[in-house]
Amino acid sequence: MTHTLKNLSRRLVSLRGNSGQSWHIPPGASVELPAFEVAENAKLRKLEERLLIKVARPEAKQPERDDEDQDRGRRSRSKR
C-alpha cells in the first residue's frame, strides 16, 4: 500500500522516512511512499499540519454490493 505526498509549497520540501531514507520534493510535485515510511512519522505530520504537503492515504475498499443486495436493503428499510 502506498501513500501519495504532494508538495503544496513554493519551495523544495525535504523529509526523512521511517527507514532513514530522504526524499526531496520539488514545488508542486508528488511522490509515492510505502505505508511503513509514512506511519507515525512526526516530521511528516508536522509538514502536513503546516500545509506544506498533502498526504493522500488510500481508503479501505468497501465490498461491492450487487443490485439484488441493494434491493433487499431498500425493502427492509421501507418496512420500518
Q: Residue 77 class from Cβ within 10 Å (0-12 exposed, 13-18 middle, 19+ buried)?
A: exposed
- List own/partner pairs for 24-30 with CB under 8 A and 24 or more apart: 25/53, 30/4, 30/5, 30/6
In a domain, 37, yes or no: yes
Q: What local confidence, expressed as pLDDT, does residue 26 receive?
A: 97
Contact present, 19 and 39 (Cβ < 8 Å):
no
Note whether residue 69 is domain-resident.
Answer: no
The total of structural domains in the chain comes to 1
Domain annotation covers residue 74: no
Asked whether residue 50 is assigned to any structural domain, the reply reads yes
Identify whether 80 is part of a domain. no
Does this model's pTM top 0.85? My answer is no
Q: Is 22 part of any domain?
A: yes
Q: What one-character DSSP code corresponds to residue 29?
A: -
Domain region containing 42: 2-58
Residue 42 within any structural domain of the chain: yes
Q: Can you give the pLDDT at residue 57? A: 82
Does residue 14 lie in a domain region? yes
Tens-binned pLDDT, residue by residue, of the chain (80 aa): 899 999 999 999 999 999 999 999 999 999 999 999 999 999 999 999 999 999 998 776 656 666 555 555 555 555 55
